[in-house]
Chains A and B, each alone.
Chain A
Amino acid sequence: MISFEHVFKRYPNGREALRDVSFRVAQGEMVFLTGRSGAGKSSILKLVTLLERPTRGKVAVHGQDTGALPSRAIPAYRRRMGVVFQDHQLLADRPVYDNVALPLIVADTPFREIDRRVRAALDQVGLLGREKSLPVELSIGEQQRVGIARAVVGKPAILVADEPTGNLDHDLARDVMRLFKRFQEVGVTVLIASHDETLVREFAQREIHVQSGQVST
C-alpha cells in the first residue's frame, strides 16, 4: 500500500531529513512511526501526502509511483487519503459540519450524500449532535476527533496521522488511538507518527523506528 525505496530527503536549507529510507506498509496494516523529535517522522508523512517530494528514491502509494504523478493529479491523489495533524487544522470560523464536509465538497459529492456521510463520520467519532458547534466550543479532545471525522468522511483507503495525540492527556490520547485502531479493523491502512512510546506500546502494532533520518523495523 505504501512503499519507500531508498528515499532521501534534503530540504532547501541543506538539512538532510531522510537518508536511504526503505520500508513497506501492507494494505489494512496499522503501523507506528516512532522516534524522537527531529528524527524525520513528519518528513516521511509529508512524502506520503505529497506535501514534499523525495530528493532521491521512490515513494509508491496505492501501487503507484508518486514521482510519476503530475501536480494536477495531486488533488485527486489526496482525496484517496485521510490526514490528521497534531494541530487539528480546523477552520475556526466554520461549524463542525462544514469542517467535516470539506473533503466531500472539494470532491463535488452530491449534497444529499454529503449530509449522510458527515453524520456517519461524526457518529463514528462520537460527536453526532455537535454539527452546529464551532471548533472553539469543543474541548481539545473533541476538536481532534472532528479532525479524524474529516479525515475519514471520504472513506479513504489510507489514514495518515502526524502526532494526533500530541496535545492530549494520556486517557484522551488512548481514546483517539482506539479510534484509529477501529478504522484499521474495518480495513483502512493506518500510518501514525508518534513520539509517545508508552502509548504506542499499549497498542502492540508494528513500529518503524526513525532515528536521524534512518529507519529500523
Chain B
Amino acid sequence: MSGVSSWFSRHAQAGIAALGRLLRRPLGTLLATSVIAIALALPAGLWVLTTNLRSLTGDVTQTLEVSVYLKPGVPLERAERLAADARRRAEVASVTVISAEQGLAQFKDHSGFGAALEALDTNPLPHVLTIRPRVTATTPRSMSALRNHLAAWPEADTVQLDTEWVQRLDSILDFLQAAFATLAIALGAGVVAVIGNSVRLEVDSRRAEIEVTKLVGGSNAFVRRPFLYEGFFYGLIGGVLALAYGSAVLAALQEPLARVSALYGGRLGIEGLTLEEAGLLVGAGSLLGLVGAWLGAARHLARIEPRE
C-alpha cells in the first residue's frame, strides 16, 4: 500500500472511529454540541440582524427628506424664492413648497380632526419646504452642510432632518457590530474551553487504553489523532446545529414579519446567512473544535506514560 493511501485510510479510520464514539453516547454529544451551537448561533444571529438593519437603512436613506418650517408670517413668495435658492445647491434633487393652506388641507384629510379644524379662524401652520437630497449626497457630512445652510436662513424656524435617526441607527449598528466581534471572540474562547474539557474528560476515561497503546509503541501523534477528530466533529456538528437553530428561528419570524410588511405595503424580509457565511460558520466551529481538542488533550496525553 502506498504511503498516501495508507495515510488516508489511517485518518479515515481514526475519523470514523471518533464519529462512532460520539454517536454511541448521543445524549452527551447532543449536550456538548448544543452548547457549541448556541455559542456559534448567537454571534451569527447578531450578524444577520445587523446586516439586515443596515440594508434596511440603506433603503430608507434614499427616501430621505429635509423639512424646513418657516417662521409664521413669512410670505409665500419669499418661500418660493428660498425654494429656488435651495434648488441651486448640488446636493439637492428637488424642493416642494407646501403652503400653509395646502398643509392645512392635507392635515384635514389625513387626520380625524377635520371638524375641529373647521372651527379655527386662522391657519396655525407655517409654509414648509420639503427638500429631497440626491441619493449620492446622503453622506452625513453633506447632509449636515445642507442643514447648516438651511438653518442659517433668517426665515427658517426649524430644520428637521429625517436622517438623524438613520445616522444614529447607523452608529448604533457600528457599535453593535464591534460588540458582536468581541462577543464572537469571547464565545469562541468558550467553545474552545467546552470542547477542550470534553476531550480532556474523554482522555481521562480512556487512560488505560492510552497507556497500553503507548506500551506497544503508539506515538503521541497516534494517540492524539482520535481525540483531535473528536474535537473537530464536536465543532462541525455544533456549527451545523447552529445553522439549523438559526434557520428555525428565521422561519418562525418570516410569517409575522410578512404580516407586518404587508401592513406597510413593503417587501420586508430577513435575509439569512449566505452560503459562504454558512460555510464560514461551520468551518469556524470545526476549527475551534480542533483547537480545543488540541489544547485540552495534547499536553495531557503526552504526560500519560505506560505503567507496569
Q: Which residues of A contact B (CB under 8 A)?
A: 42, 45-46, 49, 51, 72, 75-79, 83, 85, 89-91, 102-103, 106-108, 110-111, 150, 154, 162
Contact = CB atoms under 8 A, between A and B. Distances in A.
Give the bracket for the number of chain B residues in contact with chain A. 20 to 34
A106 B6 contact: no
Contacts of B209: 91
A17 B63 CA distance: 90
Given A42-B308, A46-B308, A162-B308, A106 B216 contact: yes
21 contacts: A51-B215, A51-B305, A51-B306, A51-B308, A75-B214, A78-B215, A78-B216, A79-B217, A85-B308, A89-B211, A90-B212, A91-B208, A91-B212, A102-B213, A102-B218, A103-B217, A106-B217, A106-B219, A106-B222, A107-B217, A154-B217
A90 B211 CA distance: 11
Interface of B: 1, 6, 9-10, 208-209, 211-220, 222, 305-308
Contacts of A75: 214, 217-220, 222
Contacts of B306: 51
A51 B217 CA distance: 12
Contacts of A42: 308
Contacts of A72: 219-220
Given A75-B217, A76-B217, A78-B217, A110 B6 contact: yes
A116 to B, nearest CB: 13
A75 B6 CA distance: 19
Interface hub of A75, A83, A111 (most chain B Cβ within 10 A): A75
A106 B308 contact: no
Nearest to B215: A83
